[in-house]
Amino acid sequence: MKILMISKNVPTRYQGGIQTHVWKLSKYMIRQGHDVDILSAGGFKQGDKSYEEDGRTIHEIRYLPGRHIPVLNVLLEDYSFNKSVIQWIKKNGQNYDLINVQGRSGFFYPKFNRFGMFPPCITTFHGTAQGEYEANREFASNRLALYLHNLFSSKNERDCLKYSAAVISVSNEMTQRLNKEFGKSLNKSQIIYNGIDLEDFVELKEKQDDNLLVFVGRLAAVKGVNVLINSFTKVNKEIKLVIVGGGPDEKQYKELVAQLNLTNRITFAGAQPFSEVRKWFQKCYAFVLPSFKESQGIVLMEANAFGKPVIASDIDGINEVVEHNVNGLMFEKSNEKELTEKINQLFSNKELAKKLGQEGKRLMKEKFDWEVLTKETLKLYAKVIDKN
């Protein structure tokens, strides 16, 4: 098969869940003999360009970077990229057997192709705009921008779901979200989880620091970082926290750390490539993710793959990956007291931490191997192509 995946970013520019999904899925598709191109965002001034990257052809397209325009920034960014996607597909779409839209990257395409003039489309839903709006609106610095983006994106997500030949949702939570927002009559989703590339999790020479807790993720309200920081006023004073990642609320969180006099215990490491993130996974005694909303929580799987126990919010999506007292500990979302207890529990009970980490490593090999999940995805691709 000749496959086009649409993802606004790739991991060489921005490291996130969708980007990792696209990169790993394409890697194993190529290994199984298929050709994969990725359509992605390029610079406004440099124009379109194509290049090879580890067996994939990356096509970067020119679009208007709306992030610099107040209030309409995210909306315009998505709109301009998706318009550029359609223009590129008009010229090049017939070169492919199937197009896989990833989230909001390319979500104009299914409706554009509603008469079947171009290759069939499968859309992978990693989240919804409404879900992000609900999770972020209480804490967002610009609620109007968030509201307008939700109006724009929700309408296009509905069209995307309606006109796609098939839909992949990355968790049961994601399927439930689609049913809730768009109705079961529109829902044609198949659950295929995000996976773990076990080749990335060979043991490193990093020595574990039994006092170190690590968070990796986007620094935005939905990740619950404020709850984590506040909990550190009560956790054992020997414990130190490293926060790996960047995002819109980074400045706010640094100010909170300073106000609570925690600068000697909480360090911001910034956004880092996975080669460095791997080292943090190896160094910590446990990994923490206090999110208010997650479709699945790939970082939890990555920590488990290194044999590390995880501490996470007991929410839909995460509870499909983490089982309490099996591969990690769970706490009630937003509950600082419970989070504090779980952090201290794993710190003081090294045998429990080791047991949970080892079980997590076994589960990742058994349930979330990318090679297995890629075969499931390719079966769905072939089914859609045969129907068209």
Contacts of 180 (CB under 8 A, 6+ apart): none
Do 198-367 and 2-195+369-387 have the same topology in CATH? Answer: yes
Which residue is it, tokens 């045998």?
Answer: 351
Q: How many CB atoms lie within 10 A of CB 101?
A: 27
Q: Can you tell me the distance from the alpha carbon of 220 to that of 366, in angstroms, rounded to the nearest whole number?
A: 32
Distance CA(14)–CA(218), nearest Å, equals 11
* Per-residue model confidence (pLDDT) at position 141: 63
Alpha-carbon torsion, ordered 39, 99, 110, 173, to 10 deg = -90
Four-CA torsion 144, 147, 148, 154, nearest 10 degrees: 170
Q: Quick one: which of 293, 295, 329, 334 has its CA closest to 312?
A: 329
Contacts of residue 20, defined as CB under 8 A and 6 or more positions apart, other chains included, come to 11, 194, 274, 298
For domain 2-195+369-387, give the CATH number.
3.40.50.2000
Q: What is the largest CA-CA distance in the chain?
A: 63
Query: Quick one: tokens of 188?
Result: 């044609």
Place of tokens 């750390």: 257
Closest CA to 203 of 282, 308, 301: 282
Angle (deg, nearest 10), helices 73-92 and 143-163: 30
Whole-number CA gyration radius for the chain? 21
Interval 250-288: pLDDT, tens: 999 999 999 999 999 999 999 998 889 999 999 999 999
Dihedral sign, CA of 332, 336, 338, 344? positive
Question: CB under 8 Å to 215, separation ≥6 — which residues?
Answer: 225, 228, 241, 242, 243, 244, 245, 287, 288, 289, 290
- Model pTM? 0.78
Q: Mind giving me the DSSP string for 77-134?
A: HHHHHHHHHHHHHHHHGGG-SEEEEETTBTTTHHHHTTT-SS--EEEEES--HHHHHH
- Say which CATH class 198-367 falls into: alpha beta
Measure the CA dihedral 56/61/67/71, to 10°. Answer: -120
Domain ranges of the chain: 2-195+369-387, 198-367
Give the C-alpha separation, 158 to 148, whole Å: 16
The values of phi and psi at residue 310, to 5°, are: -125, 150
Output the six-digit token pair for 202: 């060979």
- N- to C-terminal Cα distance for the chain? 14
pLDDT for residue 245: 94
Exposed, middle or buried: residue 274 (CB in 10 Å: 0-12, 13-18, 19+)? middle
Whole-angstrom Cα distance, residue 370 to residue 28? 7
At 343-368, the pLDDT tens digits run 999 999 999 999 999 999 999 988 89
Sheet holding 2-6, edge to edge: 49-53, 56-61, 35-41, 2-6, 98-102, 121-125, 166-169, 189-191
Sign for the pseudo-dihedral over CA of 183, 295, 245, 7: negative
Write phi, then psi, for 222 (nearest 5 degrees): -65, -20
**Token pair for 143:** 């609620």
The one-digit pLDDT tens for each residue of the chain (388 residues) are 999 999 998 877 766 778 989 999 999 999 999 999 999 998 777 779 999 999 999 999 998 776 667 767 778 888 999 999 999 999 999 999 999 999 999 999 999 999 999 999 999 999 898 988 887 776 666 788 888 888 999 999 999 999 999 999 998 888 988 999 998 756 688 999 988 898 888 777 789 999 999 999 989 888 999 999 999 999 999 999 999 999 889 999 999 999 999 999 999 999 998 889 999 999 999 999 999 988 778 899 999 999 999 999 999 889 999 999 999 999 999 999 999 999 999 999 999 999 999 999 999 988 899 998 999 999 999 999 998 7
The string of pLDDT tens digits covering residues 182-212 is: 987 566 889 999 888 988 887 777 899 999 9
Listed in sequence order, the residues at least 6 apart from 276 whose beta carbon sits closer than 8 Å to its beta carbon are: 244
Give the whole-angstrom CA distance, residue 129 versus residue 103. Answer: 10
